[in-house]
Amino acid sequence: MIQIAIDGPGGAGKSTVAKAVAAKLGIVYVDTGALYRTVGYYVRQKDISPDDREGVGAILCEISIEIKYVDGAQHVFLNGEDLGDKIRTPEMSMYASKVSAIPAVRAFLLDTQRDIAKKNSVIMDGRDIGTVILPNADVKIFLTASEECRAMRRYKELIERGQDVKYEDVLAEMNQRDKQDSTRDVAPTAAAADAVLLDNTGMTFDQTVDAVIALAMEKRGK
């Protein structure tokens, strides 16, 4: 069994890199951001403000979240419904970021994340995986890149998904979200003390994947 934690700000390529590493190593990829997006989606459906801590806390008992893997791809089910790409919009990104600052939401999602890592070898990406969720992970990586590079990647990803977005808006939204995520009181985005910092500005996707695999091999060998 191996646990690989990848944390970092938005647009660093955590999810695409982690997915590729998981496929190469034959382990399970866990996208934890999808869980916060799912809570955000339900909060939006219920017309509750994502800033309303009490309101959000009160509806958590109505939520059942399940993660299933179909052909190796992670699907998140909210009360039995596969949400698919509905959680991938800029609006859902902002809802996810806001509800993720609420301690009750983080506590609600804790066991779901830890249980998967107990039963499977995983590469898990998020903001607090190395610091809070899997503090004993075998490999911890803090993946980052320059602001412009990250915003451009996110922009291209959204355009490829057919969304009508402007680069400037993507950059502004990304910065606002990163600020929220890294300055919140509970489990802010942070590199664990024993994490390896990997800045992939100017690195290709394949180079980043290879670098993560090399780090995993090196740590495992020790």
- Residues interacting with ligand DC, by CB under 6 A? 10, 32-33, 36-37, 93, 96-97, 100, 126-129, 177, 181
Is residue 161 within 8 A of residue 89, CB to CB? The reply is no
Please give the C-alpha separations between residue 17 and each of 125, 172, 185, 220, in angstroms, as whole numbers: 10, 24, 28, 19
Burial 11-38 (b: 16+ CB within 10 A, else e): bbbbbebbbbbbeebebbbbbbbbbbbb
Q: Is 68 helix (H, G, I), strand (E, B) or coil?
A: strand
Nearer to ligand DC, 110 or 213 (CB): 110
Nearer to ligand DC, 19 or 177 (CB): 177
Q: What is the DSSP letter of 195?
A: P
User: Residue 129 Cβ, how far from ligand DC at the closest point, in Å?
Assistant: 6
Residue 126, class by beta-carbon neighbours within 10 Å (0-12 exposed, 13-18 middle, 19+ buried)?
buried
Nearer to ligand DC, 37 or 211 (CB): 37
User: Residue 221 Cβ, how far from ligand DC at the closest point, in Å?
Assistant: 28
Is residue 5 within 8 A of residue 132, CB to CB? The reply is no
User: Residue 124 Cβ, how far from ligand DC at the closest point, in Å?
Assistant: 8
Cα–Cα dist 172/170, whole Å: 6
Nearer to ligand DC, 49 or 218 (CB): 49
User: Residue 142 Cβ, how far from ligand DC at the closest point, in Å?
Assistant: 13
Nearer to ligand DC, 153 or 177 (CB): 177
Q: Which residues contact 174 (CB under 8 A, 6 or more apart)?
A: 9, 10, 11, 147, 150, 151, 154
User: Residue 87 Cβ, how far from ligand DC at the closest point, in Å?
Assistant: 8
Nearer to ligand DC, 136 or 220 (CB): 136
Cα–Cα dist 62/136, whole Å: 32
User: Residue 42 Cβ, how far from ligand DC at the closest point, in Å?
Assistant: 14
